[in-house]
Amino acid sequence: MNFEETVSFIRELYPQKEFVALHEPVFNGNEKKYLEECIDSTFVSSVGKYVDLFEEKIADFVGSRYAVATVNGTSALHISLLLANVANGDEVITQPLTFIATCNAISYIGAKPVFVDVDLETMGLSPKALESFLDAHCIREDGQCINKETGKVIRACVPMHTFGHPCKIDEIAEICEAWHIALVEDAAESLGSYYKNRHTGTFGKLAAFSFNGNKVITSGGGGCIVTDDEVLAKKAKHLTTTAKIPHRWEYVHDMIGYNYRMPNLNAALLVAQLEQLENFLADKRELASLYQNFFEKQKINFVTEPKLSNSNYWLNAVILKDIGERDRFLEYTNSRNVMTRPVWRLMNRLEMFKDAQCGTLENALWLEERVVNIPSGVRG
């Protein structure tokens, strides 16, 4: 790989930037207008018209019946797992190649992650690896999936759509249904991504999205739960609003709840961002195409959307030849004010999860040593 040519090309893509960030937010629409309206209304906390409007618009965009706004994607995933009946002592299958939030949400409940390999094509949970793990280590008993090695119930499965590229979520859904496992999608990175013309986050019982400062659209923080189940949606709103029974003045709470509701201020930002989402996605696809053409000439593997998918290209990525080239590239680019990042360290290699049960993880290990994210922000 020619590092100098790569840095020059990236700088051509972002000509006005002395420092090229990995994914910088863009606020070119009605953000200030809606924020001022929100401030003038004095409804700046978790009650206000923008929260309701955002929930309506995001549900409509992804094709879900209900959406519940939360303070961030981690809280959305935490509540989704609780609503999927994950409890203390249960186990949850997920992928080792993911952001820490996936495993944090599992751990908040007192459940344990079990790590299954990813596909090289999607970098998301592999249905073949999932099925192989279940066949080798689990039994179906009384409508539950039991881990023969630990005796614990595997209550849920959390695949993640890595960098916005959809995993083979329909196959995963079929396997989960056959094994009595709740499917909860970690769609934090995949707003605007589709698999077989269906938006990510709509294949499982529940899904979580994130609107952190580096996402396609952002409210600084923020997340949401989506579901087609009215009962779960109502319970999600109840749990995220400190489980307070609605009343004009009394404070009565009927269960342990969480202060997880998105403030109206953040929702005002998101409503404005949603108005620009289609343009953002078009810009990101154009950027990915430019990168693909450039790296093809360099004979470098640029990560493109998987078959049958339409990816949002949240974070663009290249796959380098080995860990040595990866580290040299990271040093070269970051020393020249072009922000690049390696893929996350595998979850099973972190201190907190070093004793977690794992399937065979060849693909995840191979990718960990080679994947680098490159600047991916909207340029317009």
- 351 sits in which H/E element: none
Instruction: Let me know whether 239 and 283 are in one domain.
Output: no
Residue 379: inside a domain: no
Do the Cβ atoms of 178 and 143 come closer than 8 Å? no
- pLDDT for 233 equals 98
pLDDT, one tens digit per residue, over 188-223 is 999 999 999 999 999 999 999 999 999 999 999 999
Digit-coded pLDDT (tens) for 84-103: 999 999 999 999 999 999 99
Three-class SS of 15-59: CCCCCECCCCCCCCCCHHHHHHHHHHHCCCCCCCHHHHHHHHHHH
Residue 172: inside a domain, yes or no? yes
3-class secondary-structure state, position 4: helix
- State percent of the chain over pLDDT 90: 97
Tokens 């119930």 appear where? 153
Number of domains in the chain: 2
Whether the CB-CB separation of 208 and 187 falls below 8 Å is answered with yes
Widest pairwise Cα distance in the chain = 67
Residue 380 lies in a domain: no
Q: Do 74 and 197 sit in the same domain of this protein?
A: yes
Residue range of the domain that includes 334: 3-23+277-374
| pLDDT confidence bin for 269, thresholds 50/70/90 | very high
Q: Comparing 24-28, 43-47, 234-238, 278-282, which segment has the lowest mean pLDDT?
A: 43-47
Question: What does the alpha-carbon distance between residue 168 and residue 13 come to, in Å, rounded to a whole number?
Answer: 32
The pair of three-digit structure tokens given for residue 199, joined into one six-digit string: 């938006």
pLDDT over 80 (residue 274): yes
Q: Are residues 79 and 183 in the same domain?
A: yes
The HSE-up count of residue 92 (CA atoms within 13 Å, CB side) is 37
Mean pLDDT of 268-277: 98
| Domain shared by 134 and 204, yes or no | yes
CB atoms near residue 320 (< 10 Å)? 20
249 and 282 housed in the same domain = no
For residues 231 and 118, membership in a common domain is answered with yes
User: Is residue 90 assigned to a domain?
Assistant: yes
DSSP code at position 71: S
Confidence check: pLDDT of 324 > 90: yes
Question: Is 318 domain-assigned?
Answer: yes
Instruction: Say if residue 243 is in the same domain as residue 186.
Output: yes
User: CA distances (Å), 204 to each of 23, 97, 157, 362, in order?
Assistant: 28, 20, 10, 27
Stated pTM of the model: 0.96
> Phi and psi dihedrals of 190, rounded to 5?
-120, 25
Which residues have C-beta within 8 Å of that of residue 210, sequence separation ≥ 6? Answer: 72, 73, 74, 76, 101, 188, 189, 222, 223
CATH of residue 11's domain is 3.90.1150.10
pLDDT in tens, 30-54: 999 999 999 999 988 888 899 999 9
Kindly state the helix (H) or strand (E) to which residue 184 belongs, with its residue range. Answer: strand 182-186
pLDDT for residue 225:
98
Element spanning 104, H or E: helix 100-108
